[in-house]
Amino acid sequence: MAKEKEGGVYLVADWVILNLGGFIIGLSKAGFGGFAGVVVGPMLALWRPPREAIGLMLPLLIAGDLFSIPYYWRKWDSRNLVLLMVPAVFGIAIGTYVLSGINDRALKQVIGGIALIFSAGQILRERAGGRVSAWKVKPIHGIIAGLTAGVFSTMAHLGGLPVVFYLLPQRLPAVAFVATSVWFFFMVNVLKLPPYVQQGLITARELRTVAWLLPATGIGALFGVWLSKRVSDKVVNHVVLGLTVITALKLIVSP
């Protein structure tokens, strides 16, 4: 009886956490440039086996992308998109290879470590402020950013920071900056589908679960649009950074 009750409580908590993850992804994609979503991967990896967590996240991320990519069609910077995308393909291959041989405990630590790197980089970027614009980027920086983003995105869905650090100093028009980022990660996410399926990270079971979570993602997207007009990005980003650091540290030390 106790076990049944405990199992029922677990199922309810599992459902709440999964829907919260879908909601945050939708919110971040529609209202906060995808940044708020960085906490979802570590959060799910704490609750479920890490492979299952990243497998569940990928279809949700693609669903979130579908809310934003139509608006940014052909508004990207073609040179930067190509320069990032080509090495990202190799990064995805490297990330896939590492995933194939890593155990769950080590994968938890990798996800936590990447989340901490992301958080530290975000703090440095905020402290640098306008000085970021003074950096002179070269094609090699784009290659490194694309490769790193491909690896980090494949292993933990946390590839955004290298791309931001590469694009920001170029002073692209705001729409071109966002469009290049949005379309880059949409294509990266689509390219991650075959290796995820091949490694059993995405199965029919995960897809059924994702289908039930799509309403939460849609509601999150609508709420994100509403919230972005009333709350500054900085406030949301600071809250997310705090949650990400706490979750990442817990992932690293958890058994």
For residue 37, the model assigns a pLDDT of 61
Q: How many CB atoms lie within 10 A of CB 139?
A: 10
Write the single-letter amino acid at 119: S
pLDDT (tens digit per residue) in 110-165: 888 888 888 887 777 777 665 555 457 789 999 999 999 999 999 988 888 888 88
For residue 30, the model assigns a pLDDT of 64
For residue 72, the model assigns a pLDDT of 82
Question: How far is the C-alpha of 22 from the C-alpha of 27, rounded, in Å?
Answer: 9
Is 32 in contact with 224 (CB distance < 8 Å)? yes
Question: How far is the C-alpha of 217 from the C-alpha of 201, rounded, in Å?
Answer: 20
For residue 46, the model assigns a pLDDT of 81
Q: For the chain, how long is the longest CA-to-CA vector?
A: 65
Question: For the chain, percent helix, then strand, then coil, each to nearest 5?
Answer: 85, 0, 15
DSSP alpha helix (H) spans, 168-232: 174-198, 204-228
Is 37 in contact with 25 (CB distance < 8 Å)? yes
- Six-digit token string for 173: 């028009």
* Residue ranges, the chain, pLDDT below 50: 1-6, 134
Residue 9, exposed/middle/buried by CB under 10 A (0-12, 13-18, 19+)? exposed
Is 153 in contact with 96 (CB distance < 8 Å)? no
Rounded to an integer, what is the distance from CA 130 to the centroid of its chain? Answer: 25
For residue 151, the model assigns a pLDDT of 95
For residue 241, the model assigns a pLDDT of 78
Is 56 in contact with 216 (CB distance < 8 Å)? no
Q: What is the pTM of this model?
A: 0.83
